[in-house]
Structure 1
Amino acid sequence: MNDPNVRAAQEWVNAMYDGVAEGYIRCAEDGSTGWQTVLSLTQGLQHELGISPTVQNFGPGTFDALVARGGIRPTETDTNLIRIINYALWCKGYYGAASAGRWTSVTTDSMNDLIGDAGLASAANVSNIHTRLLVQIVKALLRMDQFRRVPGGTSEIQEFQRHLNLTYVYGENITTMDLSPCDGVYSRDVQQAVMKALQFEIGIERSEIGGYFGSTTKARLKEQPTLGTGSDGALVHLFTALCVFNSPVLENGSAIPTTVRSTYTDDTEEFVRAFQKFSQLTVTGKSDYDTWAQLLVSTGNEYRDTTACDEAAPLTFARAQALGNAGYRIVGRYLDEHLDPGDDDYLGKALTSTELSDIVRGGLGVYPIFQWNGTTRANFTYDKGFEQGGVAEARAREFGFGRGTCIYFAVDFDATQADIDAAVLDYFRGVRAALGRTNRYTFGVYGSRNVCRNVSNRVGATWSFVSGLSWGFSGNLGFPLPANWSFNQIRNGTFSYGSGSFGEAWEIDRNVWRRGSDPGTTVLNPARSPAQDFIDLVQRLFTAALEYDAGADPARLVCQFFRQEQYNGPDWRLSLGAVDQGWTAALAEQGLTLAGRRNLTDPVTGTSVGTEHLMATLEMCLEYSSTTDLVSLGDGGGWAGDLVTFYGDWRENKDRFPNPMLFARDYLGKRDAASHFSNDQWIQDADGFNIMRLMRTESLGLPDAVARYYGTDSPGAGDRVCQRRYTLFHADRFDSSSSTTQTLARNLLLGRNSDIAVIAGTWFLISRVSLDAEDRPENIDPAQLTNFVLAYAWELQERVEAEEGK
């Protein structure tokens, strides 16, 4: 955006200080605010304070010099200092005086607005503010921190940020603490502010409050009484704020809510239990040390028990056994090394077939890691990702890793958001394209929390291996654990066993392994499909259905087995009829219940996929055929029903995500996301439809269709049909057309060209989430509705292109 006032600031500061202030760096004169401009203004301020050379940082020297001067107040007579204030206000998004060299009532009002936005209005205004706090305001003015809520920010977090400023910066006058931004977003600066507030509350000397989770802080925190239901006070307030920062946490697919409060309630305990379970901690529901640590830093308590590790050093059979005897169950090893053995920097970290065999014989699982010089941004391009993805697949095939194995590609440097956007994401798109040529393996990401979150949400990594050990990485500060984390690397050290000539010692990284996540590999060159148990179950149920009622449709009865609990309510009975209770009772007598049969292992991603929704979708597709131009009731049991409920999710979060495309980026089809259209549901919707099409186009019975779809027997070059699930779904349901996808999605939401039952179902689903009339699809901004349906079409297209190696 070209703002004439910002441009005026840029032109003035360059003309005034370039070649005059030693060390001065010119800013662009483009009318766009940003760090470059405010840092140039900061250098101008330093010059006026007599600091030389000037630097692009508002550090302690600048702060102390401005305090000594008494700040910059409405009585200021130095026109250059007044210009800096007025121009900084324009760059911050506040009004400055029309005549920048004069301090006018506009300047005063805007400074007071900033003081109020920082949460300090009850304490001071620009006319009576004490000097140190005034300098804090000026420092905030010359940074890019925001003090008004931004898109994605919440009023609850903003209110807490203001509390930090009023209570600790102003009230307690903690001199090592800067003003917290008040944008409603959990960030690195907010985390640092909370750490300093916590250090104050647990009795650390003011001079030692630095915002680092060091030995003194750890020792003092361990001495604190455990908080639980009924506890209250400042520590509860800080603890519950950290809970909010580390939310959402899912429990059985639903987000467990939590709020910032000064009293520890039953709701707080419920969230803490869910958080502890998610974080692989002992579930107590109380604020024990491990929970505090996990809320505060990426390592958590680095000395807690771990069952996984990764290492560069090769393993022998004896080493693998020793790790197993010490409680380790899985180890990460490198598929390859980019240097030749003769290179001086060669590490010898690459896995060998003999070593892999020894690891598996020693009782450990393996998760493969791939890293070719992933320590610099220069390595991260699309072409290098494509090349390295191909090498990783070739090596994994040579070693005999089974289909669906997750290969972790490493981002082993402190990648900023700019690095991620400009380089890291392109690299992983290249990896995805290379692996998508066969869809034999899936990919994961090793990196900071923010790297993992971005690569997972925006490129589709299956699992995240978090470099929590790099606690100082910017991407590990101010970000919660990614929802799809499988391993969290928390401590480096030596592992040893035995003694003397009968023992060894070598270096390992200790990792927390999340229950129910990536299982790793324990069988090499497996002959069975990962979904074989489900394939066998369908055959067994089909045979039992024929015996139960020779006149009934056995495929429908098999589907009824899976939908007997979740998908047998009034709406489903209206569409498909009630589940035959005699049938499910007869199966129960044979020991066939849903217990232990609610999931199958996806051969493509190696992840768990729910069978109940899958088979309910299949039955709807079998019962109600679809055509290209009509949204049918069969669609309503799959993609259409899920899209309608996702629309409700978006409208409930419209204040944080006014743009539906940004909401979709974080929640549509994301693993373990708190939405009604998760990645699991994308798979179920596509697979239910595709199995129906396979049955009809090739005249297959249900068991044969399921075996063809998930098993080793498939029509193309050894690939399972499910390896092209989105391509088939896009082609057969939407004619491989993004335009058709958008049209059908729009018709669905607006009740056009749709089965009457679909229209009724859409109305029912949307009304069930208690949306106001203004939120109904026909009443929102048409451009927003276009963006919403476009987000669905783009997500589907993205998945298709990933399968096509693009």
Structure 2
Amino acid sequence: MDKMVQKVQTWLMEHYNGKDRFETIKEEDIDGIAGTGTVRRLIEALQIELNENFNTKIIVDGSFGLGTLKGLPAIIGKGYNIPNIVCIIQGSLWCKGYSAGEIDGIYGDGVVAGVRRFQRDAGINEDGIIRPYILQGIMNTDGYAFSNNSNSRKSGIHRIQLAMNKYYGLKIGLTAPNGDWDKKSQRNFIKCCQSEWGISVVDGVWGDNTMKSAPTLSKNVSGYKASKILLQMALTLSGNYNGEFTGIFDDATYKAVYNFQDTMEIGAEGVVGKGTWASLLSTRGNTSRKAKAFDTNVRLTSETAMKYKNLGYTDVGRYLTNVKNGVLDKRITPEELDIIKKTGLKVFPIFQKYGRENDYFTQNQGETDGKEAMLAAINLGFPSTVTIYFAIDYDIYKSDIDKYIVPYFKGIHKSMGKSYSIGVYGPRAVCNLLYENKLAEYSFVSDMSSGFSSNIGEVMPVNWAYEQFFEDKSLNIDKCMTSKRSTGVVPDWTNKGGNFNEIKNIYDTVNKYLTVILAITHPASSTPKIYDINKCILAYLRSSNYDITVGIDKVLDKIISNKDFSGLKEFGKGAGWNILAGERHPDIVKTVEKNYPDFDPKKYSFQDPITSIDIEITHFAATLGAYITTFFITDLGKSEESALDSYTGWAGDLIQMYAIISMSLEKGYNYFDNTNLQKMIGTLDGELNGYIMFDKNGEEMSKPSSGFSIVDLIQDVDAFNIYKMYNLNKIEIYNALNDYYYVSAKCKKRYTYFKDFLLAEFKKESLSDVAKIFTSREHSILSDSFEELFGKFDSDKSEQVAKAFQDKIEYLIENEK
């Protein structure tokens, strides 16, 4: 509470309560806070005094408008003899934060000193005399004091505001030079330009009439000093100039103009024409300029797509999904993508479910939206190189961006991982902050919304790919500029892919089968879940190699009753696989075999596009099936389930190799050195010729093998990656395979992904630490039953094997670069 402000409030209450239209001040209003209520009542008091003393007819409304401005004397200075008006000035100065002596109605040295301090902060002549525009600047809640700090951006804005007051304050009014650029600063700056260029209506609104009056400036144009000062101020605001406002079009000014034009992609030539002025003074820029991109919520037809193509457009922004509770069906379809491809256009996807108020944007919502966007993009076949633009489509205050939008994008990153590049559609302040926080790789800037507070006074994001600047209602599109970072892609992936059509056919068959079964057993919900179909397909694809040959009841009883995992040694015969990866339903097997009698999972393979190695499906399907199957023992921890899943893949192959070379060591053949160990992890065909090795029964192997071939390694790595990358609750298995191997070709970085996912899964710092969970006896489920399954191994060598595993993966990662 400020005691002098409290005195001001008391004085107003005593002198004006009950007078014409004065807003009554109650005792509880005497709070010593110089807020809008107190300032409004001071203006009401001034309006009353002007009406009483000068016979004006100003409406007493507490708004310091043109009528109040014109009703004031030309100057009010030392010795002014209307005490109440002087008291109002004193009270206004105190509320503004300037000392003005006691509220006694005397325009003496104290008032003069207070006015001078305000004039100094405003950047105008310090004569201690009140003029109408000065009193208008005092009688509001705008802060005029500027704390000089290391923020060069704020310092530059402060210099602009001071210059506006110095050169144009008398004509257009004062601007608070506090280093913050708001709507009033923007409006006043345009007024400065309009005043200088002789516009008849100085309203602070950028329009065609103002643009037409803008002068063309360059190094070769003499005169126009005032306009050149305005240019330097505008270039400072754009972040391209930090020099003095000299009014000389020198080399520094030329460079700033050129850089600005180059950044905005409006033709870099160093000459300031009307289009450059438009881009400097409004985020919309020159709305008649030619654009190469557009976004639309209307689905393209062959006719409209060709029309846009003939008009010179190259890129189109379309929506991945519909808006929550929206009435428009604006989502893109595969058929539309085919039209876009045939027309020769490129497409960039946009995701917007709602996005028009702060409360929507939370980290949890970001995770949800990220998953939905990723699912939609994958199902439409968009490769992982594509950028998805998440929409922030409202006028968010700059102070709220960090509180709401940043957590939202952190959620998007958490759910999407490295699946797609993440972009943002929104005003400049949003785009800039997300880029600074490394949460958005590209920006689609909503510059069309030039009145947004988060656009005003903001520099163009350095990562902008598209700039939306005009709604063309005749074409039902929003025109967009493109930068050299434009991310549109030609939808040419529809014909890409491996031989996964067979798996798609099996998917459709299983889907139909389950639909019939559900219609009988659960008529109310007869649509099968994608997860159930995927699980059944993977169980089928692991083939009879993994069929059940022993009952699983006893195995389950041991696990449930006393966490005895010894029964899992039977999973090679089928029991464990039915536990870990879901039952291989005989009826589904028969249905698929009936429809596709020539298809045999044991003979089915596809070529890895990176190594050209044929990947057989059975082990791959068994491993992936185990990963996506939730183990249903209620007291089994996540780490134990993750370990069990790993035994079906990379960890099982690693310790099987470990057991073989441990048995070989017993027979006198020592391969426990890093070079040999790395060679045996992901070994190539024939690479172990000449090695003498023994199986777990001590029998010499006729064809030496570590049990961890390159085919096994690729299967293990890819199965784990696909499990982590794709939500197989919602994404069909054939779409996931097609994207991983061909569309997005994420397999190009398979070992990089594998390392990142594995460290996150087990919360370890190194791959060696992860491997030691399985090569030593640290883990709770590593028991004698697993030695029975894989073979005995020398526990003293566990760290060597774990280190070799780490080194081999790191070596493979290096080869991916």
Report if TM-score (shorter chain) is over 0.5: yes
The one-letter code matched in structure 2 to 1:211 is G
Which residue pairs with 1:759 in the alignment? none
SS at match of 2:454: helix
SS at match of 1:338: coil
2:409 & 2:104 partners in 1: Cα distance?
48
Pair 351,30 (structure 1): closer, same or farther in 2 beyond 3 Å = farther
Pair 61,310 (structure 1): closer, same or farther in 2 beyond 3 Å = same
Any conservation in 1 of the 2:217–2:228 contact (CA below 8 Å)?
no
1:104 & 1:191 partners in 2: Cα distance?
36
Pair 201,99 (structure 1): closer, same or farther in 2 beyond 3 Å = closer
Equivalences for 1:245-260 in 2 at 5 Å? 245-248=237-240, 259-260=244-245
> How far does residue 412 in structure 1 lie from its aligned partner after superposition?
2.5
Pair 722,36 (structure 1): closer, same or farther in 2 beyond 3 Å = farther
Which residue pairs with 2:482 in the alignment? 513
> How far does residue 3 in structure 1 lie from its aligned partner after superposition?
5.1
The one-letter code matched in structure 1 to 2:476 is E
Which residue pairs with 1:192 in the alignment? 187
Which residue pairs with 1:283 in the alignment? 268
Residues 294-303 or 182-191, more deviating:
182-191
Which residue pairs with 1:148 in the alignment? 146
Which residue pairs with 2:165 in the alignment? 165
Which residue pairs with 1:264 in the alignment? 249
Q: Deviations over 1:344-388 (max 9, x none)?
A: x61221222221232233222211122233344454445444433
Which residue pairs with 1:457 in the alignment? 436
> How far does residue 278 in structure 1 lie from its aligned partner after superposition?
0.9
Any conservation in 1 of the 2:468–2:478 contact (CA below 8 Å)?
yes
Any conservation in 2 of the 1:22–1:53 contact (CA below 8 Å)?
no
1:200 & 1:194 partners in 2: Cα distance?
10
Which residue pairs with 1:754 in the alignment? none
1:96 & 1:382 partners in 2: Cα distance?
50
Q: Deviations over 1:436-455 (max 9, x none)?
A: xx331343222222333344
1:270 & 1:6 partners in 2: Cα distance?
50
> How far does residue 146 in structure 1 lie from its aligned partner after superposition?
2.1
Any conservation in 2 of the 1:149–1:158 contact (CA below 8 Å)?
no
> How far does residue 11 in structure 1 lie from its aligned partner after superposition?
7.2
Alignment partner of 2:309 out of 324, 333, 338:
324
2:263 & 2:83 partners in 1: Cα distance?
57
> How far does residue 243 in structure 1 lie from its aligned partner after superposition?
1.1
2:59 & 2:199 partners in 1: Cα distance?
36
SS at match of 2:350: strand
Is 1:60 matched up with 2:35? no
Alignment partner of 1:126 out of 125, 128, 134:
128
Any conservation in 1 of the 2:79–2:108 contact (CA below 8 Å)?
no
> How far does residue 510 in structure 1 lie from its aligned partner after superposition?
0.8
1:137 & 1:14 partners in 2: Cα distance?
24
1:94 & 1:263 partners in 2: Cα distance?
37
Q: Deviations over 1:682-713 (max 9, x none)?
A: xxxxxxxxxxxxx9999999xx9xx99xx989
Which residue pairs with 2:580 in the alignment? none
Alignment partner of 1:405 out of 383, 386, 399:
386
Structure number with higher relative contact order (C-alpha < 8 Å, ≥ 6 residues apart): 1
1:389 & 1:349 partners in 2: Cα distance?
19
Which residue pairs with 2:97 in the alignment? 93
Any conservation in 2 of the 1:24–1:54 contact (CA below 8 Å)?
no
Any conservation in 1 of the 2:724–2:757 contact (CA below 8 Å)?
no
Any conservation in 2 of the 1:714–1:721 contact (CA below 8 Å)?
no
The one-letter code matched in structure 1 to 2:257 is V
Any conservation in 2 of the 1:401–1:525 contact (CA below 8 Å)?
no
Q: Deviations over 1:12-51 (max 9, x none)?
A: 7688878875556999877665556544544554565569
> How far does residue 431 in structure 1 lie from its aligned partner after superposition?
3.8
> How far does residue 107 in structure 1 lie from its aligned partner after superposition?
2.8
Equivalences for 1:618-697 in 2 at 5 Å? none
SS at match of 1:475: coil
Is 1:116 matched up with 2:120? yes
Pair 108,312 (structure 1): closer, same or farther in 2 beyond 3 Å = same
Unaligned runs of 5+ in 1: 249-255, 496-505, 529-694, 737-806
Pair 314,36 (structure 1): closer, same or farther in 2 beyond 3 Å = farther
> How far does residue 426 in structure 1 lie from its aligned partner after superposition?
4.7
Any conservation in 1 of the 2:158–2:179 contact (CA below 8 Å)?
yes
> How far does residue 416 in structure 1 lie from its aligned partner after superposition?
2.7
Question: Aligned residue pairs: how many?
Answer: 522
Pair 697,473 (structure 1): closer, same or farther in 2 beyond 3 Å = farther
2:678 & 2:48 partners in 1: Cα distance?
79
Equivalences for 1:109-508 in 2 at 5 Å? 109-121=113-125, 125-127=127-129, 129=130, 131-139=131-139, 142-151=140-149, 152=151, 157-170=157-170, 174=171, 177-205=172-200, 208-221=201-214, 224-228=215-219, 231-232=222-223, 233-248=225-240, 259-339=244-324, 346-420=327-401, 423-435=404-416, 438-458=417-437, 460-494=439-473, 506-508=475-477
2:22 & 2:413 partners in 1: Cα distance?
49
1:247 & 1:309 partners in 2: Cα distance?
27
Pair 231,418 (structure 1): closer, same or farther in 2 beyond 3 Å = same
The one-letter code matched in structure 1 to 2:425 is Y
2:247 & 2:680 partners in 1: Cα distance?
63
Which residue pairs with 2:561 in the alignment? none
SS at match of 1:94: coil
2:345 & 2:287 partners in 1: Cα distance?
22
> How far does residue 71 in structure 1 lie from its aligned partner after superposition?
6.9
SS at match of 1:444: strand
Pair 160,414 (structure 1): closer, same or farther in 2 beyond 3 Å = closer
1:15 & 1:459 partners in 2: Cα distance?
57
The one-letter code matched in structure 1 to 2:205 is Y
Any conservation in 2 of the 1:191–1:477 contact (CA below 8 Å)?
yes
> How far does residue 311 in structure 1 lie from its aligned partner after superposition?
0.4
1:178 & 1:265 partners in 2: Cα distance?
30
Any conservation in 2 of the 1:412–1:447 contact (CA below 8 Å)?
yes
SS at match of 2:723: coil
Any conservation in 1 of the 2:134–2:174 contact (CA below 8 Å)?
no
Any conservation in 1 of the 2:300–2:336 contact (CA below 8 Å)?
yes
Any conservation in 1 of the 2:58–2:68 contact (CA below 8 Å)?
no
Superposition RMSD on alpha carbons, in Å? 4.3
The one-letter code matched in structure 2 to 1:245 is L
> How far does residue 310 in structure 1 lie from its aligned partner after superposition?
0.2
> How far does residue 179 in structure 1 lie from its aligned partner after superposition?
1.1
1:459 & 1:31 partners in 2: Cα distance?
44
Q: Deviations over 1:552-602 (max 9, x none)?
A: xxxxxxxxxxxxxxxxxxxxxxxxxxxxxxxxxxxxxxxxxxxxxxxxxxx
**TM-score of the two chains, using structure 1 as the length reference:** 0.56
> How far does residue 458 in structure 1 lie from its aligned partner after superposition?
4.9
Pair 22,133 (structure 1): closer, same or farther in 2 beyond 3 Å = closer
2:418 & 2:450 partners in 1: Cα distance?
34
Any conservation in 1 of the 2:91–2:103 contact (CA below 8 Å)?
no
Unaligned runs of 5+ in 2: 52-56, 498-676, 684-709, 726-749, 770-817
The one-letter code matched in structure 2 to 1:95 is S
Which residue pairs with 1:792 in the alignment? none
Pair 411,98 (structure 1): closer, same or farther in 2 beyond 3 Å = same
1:405 & 1:160 partners in 2: Cα distance?
41
Which residue pairs with 1:106 in the alignment? 110
Pair 412,715 (structure 1): closer, same or farther in 2 beyond 3 Å = closer
Any conservation in 2 of the 1:115–1:137 contact (CA below 8 Å)?
no
Structure number with greater Rg is 2
Which residue pairs with 1:563 in the alignment? none
SS at match of 2:294: strand
